[in-house]
Amino acid sequence: MQTSLLTLAVLLAAARPVVAGEYYKWIDEAGTVHLSDSLTEVPPRYRNQIEEGLLVEPSLAVAMPPEEPPPAPPEPPKFEVNYREYEGRARRILVAARFNDRVTAPMALDTGSPDTLISAALAARLGLFDGDHGTLLIRTGGIGGSAPAIRVVLDKVEIGGAVNPFVPATVVAAAISPAFDGLIGMGFVSSYQVHIDPTRHVITFQSLPLNEDTPGGRDEQWWRNTFKDFALYRNGWQQYRDHLRREARSPSGGISDPRRLQDQEAFADAQFREAEKLYDKLNRYAIRHYVPMAWRE
């Protein structure tokens, strides 16, 4: 039975179609590499280390098609927005901006402003003074001096399809202009490549490619600066509140007006809580976009 099986195996091997030549490879004591197409030519002492392979005849080799280059990444989307000019020589660019999916208002595009400014009237229409949005009293400055203002976060700003979530903004009490309700600054613009066509009165926003260096469409500098600002608000008011509390516990002889001190402490505590809301909003937004912890310090 074993002889029959062996004979069958030999016959099957002999019947195999030959499409290429087999080779045997071994290396002698001197390190010389040998190749042979016959096992009998391999010295017995090297047969335990031979390497078998298949030599394909050039005429039988299959021509492989050239590798195609990987497809180019799609171009980031572009959004063309019609604008109108205002204020004569200044030629301000006015666009319609939609805030928090609730209110559309005319805004001036100002690439010289690092911040987005909105009027108190627009903030009221957006309901920013109601509920737990986070409204922190600050002072904002300009050429004419400083004035009280309110720091807020806009959940969404959209201009003709170009969208930015989480836009820190400053609410100013005085009307900025009768023609528009605020300024769109670099807090929005820096997420896009911007091209202005003055002949057609069209501004184009092209999205920046998203990658690990720009989580949420913002670069490292934006994240670091925003966290630094929001932490200063929160920590500053917390320290001031704690200072007032220590003053209140001091001997009464050191307090000229206890009632006024209590009012100041209550105000500082309210400011701290508003600042903490803004910081928590920023931190939750950063967590959703996997912002490195080192950028949140």
Higher pLDDT pick, 22 / 275: 275
Most confident of 68-72, 225-229, 241-245, 256-260: 225-229
225-to-52, 93, 222 alpha-carbon distances in Å: 65, 27, 5
| 21 DSSP β-pair partners | 55
Nearest residue to 120 (alpha-carbon basis) of 178, 184, 170, 168: 170
Per-residue confidence at 113, pLDDT binned at 50, 70, 90?
A: confident
Mean pLDDT of 189-207: 91
Q: How far apart are CA 28 and CA 157, in angstroms?
A: 76
Per-residue confidence at 139, pLDDT binned at 50, 70, 90?
A: confident
230 touches 283 (CB < 8 A): no
Provide φ and ψ at 67, rounded to 5°: -65, 135
What number of other Cβ atoms are within 10 A of residue 150's Cβ?
21
**CA diameter of the chain:** 117
Burial class of residue 25 in the structure, from the number of CB atoms within 10 Å of its CB (0-12 exposed, 13-18 middle, 19+ buried): middle
Provide φ and ψ at 168, rounded to 5°: -60, 140
Q: Are strands 162-172 and 145-159 parallel, antiparallel or unpaired?
A: antiparallel
Structural tokens at position 21: 């030549």
pLDDT at 162 over 70: yes
Nearest residue to 23 (alpha-carbon basis) of 38, 44, 6: 38
Nearest residue to 151 (alpha-carbon basis) of 180, 125, 128: 128
Per-residue confidence at 68, pLDDT binned at 50, 70, 90?
A: confident
* DSSP reduced 3-state for 218: coil
User: 258-288 and 220-249 are packed helices; what angle lies between their axes, rounded to 10 degrees?
Assistant: 160
Torsion sign across C-alpha atoms 77, 100, 160, 173: negative
Percent of the residues in the chain that have a pLDDT greater than 90, as a whole number: 45
Q: How far apart are CA 165 and CA 282, in angstroms?
A: 11
Mean pLDDT of 283-290: 94
Q: Are strands 78-82 and 145-159 parallel, antiparallel or unpaired?
A: unpaired
Q: At which residue do the structure tokens 């595009």 appear?
A: 109
99 touches 157 (CB < 8 A): yes
Mean pLDDT of 113-126: 92
pLDDT at 147 over 90: no
Q: What's the mean per-residue pLDDT of the chain? A: 82
Mean pLDDT of 201-209: 89
Q: How far apart are CA 255 and CA 265, in angstroms?
A: 13
pTM over 0.75, yes/no? no
Q: How far apart are CA 71 and CA 68, in angstroms?
A: 9
